[in-house]
Copies of this chain bind each other. A is one copy, B any other.
Amino acid sequence: MKKIKVGVAGYGTIGQRLADGVALQGDMELVGVADVAPTLPVQALFESGMPYDLYTAMPEKINLLTDKGIPVSGSLEDLVQKVDIMFDATNAGIGAVNKKLYEKYNKKAIFQGGEKNDVADIFFHGYANYEKGIGANFLKLTSCNTTGLIRAIDAIDREVGVVKTAITIIRRVADPGDYHRGLTNALQVEPAPSHQALDLMTIMPHIEATGILVHTPVTHGHIITALVTPKEDISKEELLDLFEKHPRIRVVRIADGFLGNASMFKYARDLGHKRGDMYEIAVWEESIVKSGRDIMFAINIPQEAVVIPENIDAIRAAMKMQMTGAEGTAETNKYLGMK
């Protein structure tokens, strides 16, 4: 079978991981990645011996890279011509500019949560609306919190139906190594409702959602508490069973030493996962409580890597590699080693 050729524009936190994720897919080929300057990820790529070919997104500034001896395989425009589909993981707003280039060569593209919704034909989640992405040209993925949250809500929705949900997002404010933003000894409240609640309703319009987001000065994963009102009653045990069977959800226990978001990061490092990444969200067993029919629980969102599986699902849908969400997500999961 001919492999689907993929390129990545923007080799930052998400772009690096998209490249790694594609490289693991047996039915895809990573043609190359594009960036502008010798950022730390690009320097690491160079020190690692250039496992991925690098293209410059600004040919007029190629010397930023070549002055450091970093080999450049061409321009972003060159890369676009060589691929079937592009991942665009550039800074928010650049994707809309790059889109013209993708259109020029009649190539499909997948944008990230930071872009505006109108950059894409479809706002996509691998589990919740795979079918809508089939054959689409331009898809936008949900952001990290929404992606992880929808995994959990979708799982409940398929089992017993979900009427409404109210979420509190305890957001990590920066990634490890971020120096351009940060909070010091402060919690910060965002105006409600959070965009994640609104985005969930866009993807799953039959659910009523609201929520509040509070930034916290940590780097290793968001925590979301979700109060869910299901259509039919679901017990704590049934919910646990549902989550344990989900390939992209881990059930963890405080009693086993998983005390918080930093435990999850440590555990991923100890598993030997590249960069200490985790694709799965985690649900704490001891956090699950019932209140009448409502059920409440806490989720861990590993912000750097959680969106990678659904992004790869998007390629599968857009390129019609698999024609159902069940098949598409199963292939992604297989190659990423989940379950």
Contact = CB atoms under 8 A, between A and B. Distances in A.
Nearest to A191: B286
A326 interface: no
B260 A218 contact: no
Contact of A219 (B38, B184, B223): B184
A166 to B, nearest CB: 5
A44 interface: yes
B218 A186 contact: yes
Contacts of A221: 187
Nearest to A44: B270
A43 B39 CA distance: 35
Nearest to A168: B168
Contact of A289 (B210, B256, B262, B297): B210
Given A192-B289, A218-B185, A223-B189, A262 B176 contact: yes
Contacts of A219: 184-185
Given A43-B257, A218-B217, A262-B185, A48 B289 contact: no
A320 interface: no
A214 B225 contact: yes
6 contacts: A43-B257, A178-B184, A178-B262, A189-B287, A210-B290, A210-B291
A40 B275 contact: no
A193 B187 CA distance: 23
A259 interface: yes
B214 A179 contact: no
Chain A contact surface mostly: mixed
Contacts of A189: 223, 254, 259-260, 284, 286-287, 298
Interface in A9-52: 16, 38-41, 43-45, 47-48
A267 B184 contact: no
Residue picked from A48, A208, A260, most chain B C-beta under 10 Å: A260
Given A220-B176, A276-B269, A294 B166 contact: yes
A220 B225 CA distance: 22
A187 B261 CA distance: 6
A145 to B, nearest CB: 14
A44 B192 CA distance: 26
Ranked nearest first, the 6 interchain pairs of A and B with the lowest CB-CB distance are A177-B266, A44-B270, A186-B262, A182-B182, A168-B168, A185-B185
A183 B185 contact: no
A188 B188 CA distance: 18
A166 B166 contact: yes
B262 A177 contact: yes
